[in-house]
Amino acid sequence: MKILHIADVHWRGLSRHEEFILSFKDLFKQAKKLKPDVIYIGGDIVHSKTQGISPELVENLAWWFNEMASIAPTHVILGNHDGLIHNKDRQDAITPIINAINNDNIYLYKDSGVYPTGIPGFDWCVFSCFDEENWSKVKPTKNISIALFHGAVTGSLTDIDWQLDGEVPVNFFDAFDFGLLGDIHKTQFLNREKTVAYCGSTIQQNYGEDQEKGFLLWDIRSKKDFDVTLNLKDEPIPTDELIKMANEYDGFVSTGFDKISEEFFKDLNGKLKIIAQVGVGYDNISIKSAESKNIKVTNTPNVLNEAVAETTILLILAASRRIGEAYNLVRSGTWKDQKPDLTKFMIGNSVTGKTLGIIGMGRIGRMAAKCAKAFGMKIIYFNRNRLSEDLEDGAKYYPDINSMMPDCDFVSIHTPATPETKYILNTTTINLLPKHAVVINTSRGSTIDDDALIDALQNKKIYAAGLDVFNNEPNLDERYMKLDNCFVLPHVGSATHETRLAMSMMAVDNIFCYFNNKPLLSEVV
């Protein structure tokens, strides 16, 4: 179910009506393109409660509600600005207008309770600010239970980043699948899972607020779409167990830690239809075997570009500025024993203005280049094919990797793991680098010949290396651990809450698309 989530409209005095009308005409255009299944309006539709409600405002609100309802069924709760919530009669400005419109596609919830969304498998769980006394009666159902609430949640932020005490804590919504909120004008997610959020206001309401306003679009899957078995141990599943599961399930979500080799495919009974890999790389999967069994394989490109590019910059800085050595010096307690010689103590190499050579100028490589330009770095690259001028964005192309290497102060690998890219950094290519060069790898361990790189680091043929990936990981070559000029990470390039969630959702969406006869988002085979 797709939900267009808007709130905090705050229709107000005549002086701003034209501004509001223009803003909402744009909102309607966007909403029509997005094709939501339902529209949810989370309160504070008017600004002035029951006072200052002009005939023009009533007319505009009627137009506004009808336009919303023409796009999709529109579900409404009220906010504190919409009426006198502490009045015994609970009077408000919105109910009479909606009643007068008499539009069957508009649903108003003034009382707390559980209501159908109109979409099978989904329920509204309304916590009305006009009916707080009945909040305790609102419980999640067996369906996807979506809590609707207008009010301040503890820890939420205003546009000027004031943290609010709130009427309820974030864990108030833990029992529910989602929490769609109104009242705070700043768009924000309140939990790591991104299931509880304020959509923000639709238009700037006060000075100090961001001018860029809008809405949230929720795309929520029904619990009834799939029967799901989770790997709760969070460990790689042995091949024999994977085969048994593959013969019982239609789809499989895998990670790079799952070894789906030729052996896996030999004893399949035809039940498995799709493997959705969480990650860009898929060298853990025997693609030829999958193709021979007519099993689709997908991956998750694009959603991790920024995270991996950030890690690339982290490694560039850490390796060149000797951050690993510095960190160990402080943690070991030996910093105080060092001679305060400012000409020698922990002197590293500057990054600003240096030349970064990129091997593999795909999406991640281009994002890394974009980040590096913030340091004034010059970008050069080697790629199978030259990019168009707009994608190059000023970078210099080298058709031959050997000709690029001598010009690199830093060289960063961003290629997939293929037979062609295996050991693309080897004795020959590494020896072409200047002695001050730094090698960075956030792609796959197989792109580097360990013996060649370790020899170069041990014998100071290059300055340093920053590595997030390794051959045979997590059992990396122990020699790396003995090198002060090698900064290492445990394959965490995409390890942010936001990125891992996006990767997981894309994998699930690929499976959803396959079984609903829709084009796959990222088909490998």
Catalytic residues: 444, 473, 491
**Cα-based distances in Å from 202 to 5, 53, 78, 182, 465:** 10, 20, 16, 11, 48
User: What is the distance between the alpha carbons of residues 483 and 223, in angstroms, rounded to a whole number?
Assistant: 50
Q: Which helix (H) or strand (E) holds 33?
A: helix 17-34
- The answer to whether the beta carbons of residues 474 and 445 sit under 8 Å apart is no
| Closest to 214 in 3D by CA, of 6, 382, 507, 376 | 6
**Cα-based distances in Å from 491 to 461, 472, 497:** 25, 12, 15
- Strands 106-109 and 113-116, sheet pairing: unpaired
Q: Is 214 exposed, middle or buried (0-12, 13-18, 19+ CB in 10 A)?
A: middle
Q: Kindly give the interhelix angle for 363-372 and 305-320, rounded to the nearest 10 degrees.
A: 50
User: What is the distance between the alpha carbons of residues 348 and 356, in angstroms, rounded to a whole number?
Assistant: 17
In the chain the first and final C-alpha atoms are separated, in Å, by 28
Token digits for 202?
Answer: 């639709």
Token digits for 485?
Answer: 């000029």
Residue 283: which residues within 8 A CB-CB, separation 6 or more? 256, 416, 417, 418, 444, 446
Find the DSSP H helices in 218-269.
Answer: 239-246, 262-266
